[in-house]
Amino acid sequence: MTTADELPPRLRCVGRDLVKPNGKKIWLRGVNFGAFNDDEEQECVPVRAMNANALRAALRWWGTWGKGDEPNPDCRDNDAFAFLNREKLQTWHGRLAAAAANDLWSVAFIDSNCGQGGTNSAEDIAYCDRYGRWGAAGHNFYTDESMLRTYAGIVWPAAAARLRTMSRVGLLEAHVEPAHHRPDSWIPRVAQVYKAVIEGIRSVDADTPILCGAMPGYSSYRAEDGLLALREAFGGTLPPGLVWTVNLLNSYVTDREQFDRGLGHLVDLTEKYDIPGFVQQVGRNSRDDVDLACMRHAVDALKEAQIGYTWWAWRVHSTDPGGKGLNYMRDDGAGWIAKDNEIALLADSWGGVEPAVWP
């Protein structure tokens, strides 16, 4: 049996800072592996070459994400151990292990389009509420307690127990972009879901920092409301090892004033409650920022604030060069085309800081 002393060391939350096992502060910066069917372990090599020290990698559970010819990466398997498809779980583990081998701290997240709302599209509703019984509230973790128990009490503990034996798992992102399109009255519901998931993770992992954020969809404007609701759910004290996030995607980047406001909300919150902040998705469509001025503004502001982030995304399953990916598909589907100018901009911003290697 593995003892606590034999487990890989973890990042720690010390006030507003994330701290490496050697006691030195670390500013996380990297990219998202969000294209489950397309991202490959060997791509951690060029990511590290960008001066990155972080990789956010997805596991999808209970939802529909595949579009066109892209198969749905949903790893929910009702006949499998802990309801997790072994092949897809091993794919996720392989990417996290490759990240560690390339000195990247991973942000491991389990996404659930159904669990976080299930009503974003007609496809979501058909997939999540197959019998049409849940109505406008949707079939999700907030309305179906049995699904929450499965996710928080079986899926996450099984995943977290395995991840705790793996090196350089930096953050566990507990419940992604909660409660889209829901009224403020749902804020306590979201806090209760987070409480259940955090308790499930902590039943097997006492150490790894946990990333959470406010509804709807990691709103920067509701960031403090969500944090206060979580504190209330835990009896008036924030759980240890908590890192807070907001979503700074799309118009947040292309509208510089909106970006500054959103980032400012997160910075203010980290100062007020003395906890680290991290932005799990920063990005925009390339067609909306041809000269990269908005991208430069965003990465400069994040660096100045020393708020860590991961850029969305490394690859996109599309032949459109105007989308969000740093790499997009060739027209014939036989390979990838890199946006060298955007990659170079990030590499320049991420250089000149303490390397990820420790001690």
CATH number, position 336:
3.20.20.80
Q: CA-CA-CA-CA torsion for 271, 173, 175, 112, nearest 10 degrees?
A: 150
HSE value, Cβ hemisphere, 13 Å, CA-based, for 114: 22
Closest CA to 283 of 221, 325, 244, 328: 325
pLDDT tens per residue, the chain (359 residues)? 345 668 999 999 999 999 999 999 999 999 999 999 999 999 999 999 999 999 999 999 999 997 777 899 999 999 999 999 999 999 999 999 999 999 999 999 999 999 999 999 999 999 999 999 999 999 999 999 999 999 999 999 999 999 999 999 999 999 999 999 999 999 999 999 999 999 999 999 999 999 999 999 999 999 999 999 999 999 999 999 999 999 999 999 999 999 999 999 999 999 999 999 999 999 999 999 999 999 999 999 999 999 999 999 999 999 999 999 999 999 998 999 999 999 999 999 999 655 443 33
- Is residue 160 domain-resident? yes
Contact (CB, 8 A) for 277 and 244: yes
**φ/ψ of residue 244, rounded to 5:** -110, 145
**How many separate domains does the chain show?**
1
Closest CA to 285 of 320, 257, 309, 330: 320
pLDDT computed for residue 69 by the predictor = 78
- Is residue 23 domain-resident? yes
- Is residue 355 domain-resident? no
- Is residue 264 domain-resident? yes
- Is residue 359 domain-resident? no
- Is residue 219 domain-resident? yes
- Is residue 105 domain-resident? yes
Closest CA to 6 of 153, 200, 207, 197: 207
- Is residue 356 domain-resident? no
pLDDT computed for residue 66 by the predictor = 76
SS3 248: strand
Domain span at 38: 4-350
pLDDT computed for residue 358 by the predictor = 33
Planar angle of CA 218, 35, 128, nearest 5 degrees? 60
- Which single residue is written with the structure tokens 């399109």? 181
pLDDT computed for residue 359 by the predictor = 31
